[in-house]
Amino acid sequence: IEITLQLLARFGVQVQREGWRAFTIAQGATYRSPGEIHVEADASSASYFIALGALAASAQAPVRIEGVGAHSIQGDIRFVDAAQAMGAVVQQGPNWLEVHRGRWPLRAIDLDCNHIPDAAMTLAIMALYADGPSTLRNIASWRVKETDRIAAMATELRKLGAEVIEAADSLTVYPLRQVRAAAIHTYDDHRVAMCFSLAAFHGLIDGLSAPQPLRILEPRCVAKTFPDYFETLFSVARAEVADIPVLTIDGPTASGKGTLAAEVAKALGYHLLDSGALYRAAALAAQEAGLDAQDEAALAALAAQLPLRFEPGRIWLGDRDVSEAVRREDIGALASQISAHAAVRDALRQRQLEFRRLPGLVADGRDMGTVIFPDATLKVFLTASAETRAQRRHKQLISKGISANLDTLLQDLKARDARDQSRRTAPLRPAQDAQLLDNSALSIEASVQQVLVWWAQRRPFK
C-alpha cells in the first residue's frame, strides 16, 4: 500500500489517508507524467548482497548494487538501516548502494522486524558474525510464509553449530563459536536458500575452527524470485582454488566418460570440462591449417591461441559451431596423435585449470586425475572391454547414418589404446587413488549412481 501511495504521488495524485483504515482519492484527480521514472530492482533480493558487503567486502572494493538506493520506496530498503546498525558502511545514490565491512565483529541487535519480514531472515545469518546474541522480534508472519520460517531457520542454524532460541514471534541467534559441515534443507523456500548461502563465509570469524563446507539442498527453489542468484553470488565471491571441489573421470576412447561426466555434473550442479573436446578442436584447427601432425612447435602455437569457447551442448571455434565436426573419426584419431606432444599439452593445460570455478567441476579426459587435477576430491577411472567400446561406437555411428565396420573400429580402438598408454607425456593410466569403474555391463544411470555414492562418501555431510 505504501508503495502504491508513493507511486500515485509521483504521478501527481495525492491520496488522503486515515492511518491504514481509510484512503480517499479526490474526485477529478488526474495523472501527470513525472517525465522520467526509475523502475526499481527488488530490495529484498538486494538484502543478500548488502549483507555480503557487510561481511566480506573491503572499503577499497565494496559491493555495488544497482537498481535500489536512497530514493527506493520499497519497505525492504529499510534493511539498510538494520545492516548499518550492525556495523555495515553503506554509501547511497538515487538508485545504487555501495556496501563494505565496518565494525567487526558485527554489533548484536535487538530489533522489531515487522517492517522488513522477508529481509529479516538475512539478519538471522548476519547474527552468526556478531559480538553477542541478536534477537529479531515481531516476526510471527514468518510462521505462515512458504514454510514455518521461524522453525526452519532455527533448525538449520543449529545444524551449523549455532545456539538458537525460538519463540512464538521471535528468534534469538548466538554467534558461532564452533562450526560443523552442514547440508541445509531449504523447505522449497527461496529465502532460506539465499540467506543461508551467506553462512558459507564463516571462515571470516576470528578464532573459529577451520572452515567447513556448506551444502544448499534443492537450490533451484530460488527461481521464484531470483533464478540466477547463485550465479550472481559466484560472480562476486572468490574462493581459494584448492577449496573448489573437483571430480575427475578418466578413461580410454569410447568408454562413455563424456556422457557420464555430463550427467554427474548435471546432478551436482557443477561446471563441466570435456578435455577431449579441447584436443579435438585443436586437431580440427590443425587439419584445416594444413599442419603436420609431427610439427610439435607449430601445433603448440596453434593450441595456445585457439579461439575456442563452450556453451551448453555446443562447441565454438571462432564464430563457427564445430560441435559435430570435432566428433568425426578422423579428428579423433588426429587428436590422439597431437596429444602425445608435451608442448601441445602444456599449451592447453592452463585453459583446463581455468575451468575450476565455483561451485565445483567435473572434468573428463585421459589425465585429469593424474596430471591436471591431482588433488581432486574423487578420481574415477572408467573403462570397458575393447569389444564393448567398439560395439557402442559402431551403434553410435550407424544411428547417425555413418557407415562403419565393427572389426575396423575394434582395431582402431586397440591401436589408440596402445598409443595412449605408451606415450611419454601423461600416458593413459588410472591415478593411484582412483576408483575403478568397469561399465561394460552397466547402464549410464547405474554408472552415475555409483559415482554419486562415491562422491557422497568423500563429502563431510550426513
Catalytic residue among 76, 118, 250, 412: 118
Catalytic site includes residue 112: no
Count of Cβ atoms closer than 10 Å to residue 215 Cβ: 16
Asked whether 363 and 275 are in contact (CB, 8 A), the reply is: yes
Place of cell 548466538: 174
Chain mean position to CA 414: 39
Asked whether 198 and 86 are in contact (CB, 8 A), the reply is: no
Count of Cβ atoms closer than 10 Å to residue 458 Cβ: 12
Q: How many helices (H) and strands (E) does the chain have?
A: 15, 19
What is the spatial distance between Cα 151 and Cα 142, in angstroms, rounded to a whole number? 9
Strand order in the sheet with 320-321: 308-311, 314-317, 320-321
Place of cell 561394460: 440
Place of cell 532460506: 192
94 residue type, one letter: P
Alpha-carbon separation of residue 41 from 65, 71, 114, 218 (angstroms)? 10, 12, 21, 25
Q: Which residues pair with 66 in a beta bridge?
A: 96
What is the spatial distance between Cα 410 and Cα 113, in angstroms, rounded to a whole number? 70
What is the spatial distance between Cα 199 and Cα 256, in angstroms, rounded to a whole number? 38
Question: What is the bridge-based pairing of β-strands 134-137 and 171-173?
Answer: antiparallel
CB contact burial 389-415 (16+ within 10 A = b; e otherwise): bbbbbbeebeeeeeeeeeeebbebbee
Asked whether 68 and 39 are in contact (CB, 8 A), the reply is: no
Alpha-carbon separation of residue 311 from 157, 253, 314, 430 (angstroms)? 37, 23, 5, 29
- Classify residue 105 as left (phi > 0), alpha (psi -120 to 50) or beta: beta
Asked whether 123 and 111 are in contact (CB, 8 A), the reply is: yes
If we measure between CA atoms, which residue out of 246, 257, 242 comes closest to residue 366? 257
Catalytic residue ranges = 118
